[in-house]
Homo-oligomer: A and B are copies of this chain.
Amino acid sequence: MTNYGITPTETPRLCVVMVGLPARGKSLITQKIVRYLSWLSIKARSFNVGSYRRLQEAHPSADFFDVHNAQGERMRRQAAELAVKDMLEWFETSDGVVAILDATNSTKARRSWIKELLQGHGVEPFFVESWCNDKELIWNNIMDVKTTSPDYVGQDPEEAAKDFMARIRKYEEVYETLDETEAESSYVKIINVSSQVVINKIRSYLQSRIVYYVMNLHIKRRCIWLSRHGESEYNLTGKLGGDANLSPRGEMYARKLPELVKEAVGDRPLTVWTSTLRRTQQTARFLPYPKLAWKALDELDAGVCDGMTYEEIEQKYPEDFAARDKDKYEYRYRGGESYRDVVTRLEPIIMELERQENIMIVTHQAVLRCIYAYFMNVPQDRSPWMVVPLHTLIQLEPRPYSTNETRVPANIPAVSTYREKGTSSKHSTEVVE
């Protein structure tokens, strides 16, 4: 078995149990963990208790969440039971590895119940608490929720915010944070968006990866810009890999790029990352920002096929060519890499991107597809086939529950390097404008 991070000596099934008052960013953290693990090929899924509760009670008022409301309490517990039931079924039927139980789980009694339930089914519970007393952060979250929560669909936003604040107060009455009385549990407690992080009894590799990931997250607004290098001499002849120089049109793109970037970035501070290969460094060389070259951003290594065209590969290695078409994500060039290998080496890049603010990355087709797949949550079977034209600046703006994308073409012609699945391998000399 080839390892992508999980060792067989570890617990195979982990449930991340979210803990925290409403409007503390639990669902945001949940979604990010699911996206990050999925990108790393670790099967992950979230189970949101609220959506199970809505099956019975679609638009509850704050009173529903009162601890003295016996019917409300019963229904909320039922919802949690249903969520856990579905989760256990998912572990069984889908070879799931990490489930995330997205709910407040705000009392020790509730957590103790969930812990026993999970352990009884061979699932390791791992509590992730988001604790926050920063008024501005909470207020921003409330504003997000009142406009996005299905609980308040169709309601007056002012009324929704008021009701939601009343709901939070109901929870506050009974809320118990993770402390020394739960010292035997594995948990991480994130205080005011990683201003402080308390990590308790971390056991497995997966727990340690998740902890490292959440402690590097921030919520400042920023953008990430992606661009392929300008058209290269290899692109002109359809050769893969190598370390060619830019073509004259690639050079034109490099010269136009500062203007394009300036328009998109404005006066914001920016750092430019490139690969260690000539074509990305030549493309970035007129950009007036600090630059950094990463080996991890080098193009997918085509191994023995480096320097060959698709036609040559099809002639010399016909079975390989077909195998790659069949499963482009897993196919590893002889002596080279697969998309999966690229994702593995990009992991530290993604971690550092989460920590940083405005970053522009000038890199290569396959690498850009992998980075893009992380931010846009593109599934593995689709990401290697994604169209990323040359001479185009892509702007990604991560928002709480999605990432906004803008593409700015430089309007400088270039060959298309895109090869459609199952089609002829002939290299396209068609010029794309």
Q: Which residues of A contact B (CB under 8 A)?
A: 1-3, 5, 7-9, 183, 194-202, 205, 208, 211-212, 215-216, 241-243, 271, 273, 276, 290-296, 301, 306, 334-335, 341, 344-345, 347-348, 352, 355-356
Contacts and interface: CB of A to CB of B under 8 A. Distances in A.
A425 B355 CA distance: 46
Given A241-B335, A276-B2, A344-B295, A200 B195 contact: yes
A271 B7 contact: yes
12 contacts: A2-B294, A2-B295, A7-B352, A195-B201, A196-B201, A197-B200, A198-B199, A199-B199, A205-B355, A208-B216, A211-B215, A345-B345
B295 A341 contact: yes
5 closest Cβ contacts across the A-B interface? A197-B199, A3-B292, A2-B293, A196-B200, A3-B294
Contacts of A200: 195-197
A223 to B, nearest CB: 16
Given A3-B273, A7-B292, 14 more contacts: A3-B293, A7-B352, A8-B271, A9-B356, A196-B198, A197-B198, A198-B199, A199-B199, A208-B215, A208-B216, A241-B335, A243-B334, A296-B344, A301-B301
For the complex formed by this chain, how many copies does it contain in all?
Answer: 2
A339 to B, nearest CB: 13
Contacts of A8: 271, 290, 292
Contacts of A276: 2
Contacts of A291: 1
A16 B200 CA distance: 22
Contacts of A216: 208
A72 to B, nearest CB: 35
A212 B214 CA distance: 12
Contacts of A271: 7-9
Contacts of A211: 215
Contacts of A335: 241-243, 301, 306
Nearest to A216: B208
Contacts of A352: 7, 205
Contacts of A3: 273, 292-294
Nearest to A275: B2
Contacts of A306: 335
A2 B296 CA distance: 10
A202 B198 CA distance: 12
A128 B6 CA distance: 29
Contacts of A242: 335
A7 to B, nearest CB: 6
Nearest to A7: B292
A194 B183 CA distance: 13
A68 B109 CA distance: 49
B341 A293 contact: no
A196 B195 contact: no
Nearest to A277: B335
A294 to B, nearest CB: 5
Contacts of A243: 334-335
A291 B2 CA distance: 9
Contacts of A202: 194, 197, 215
A166 to B, nearest CB: 31
A5 B341 CA distance: 19
Given A7-B292, A293-B1, A293-B2, A198 B201 contact: no
Of A5, A7, A344, the most chain B CB neighbours within 10 A belong to A7
A199 B201 contact: no
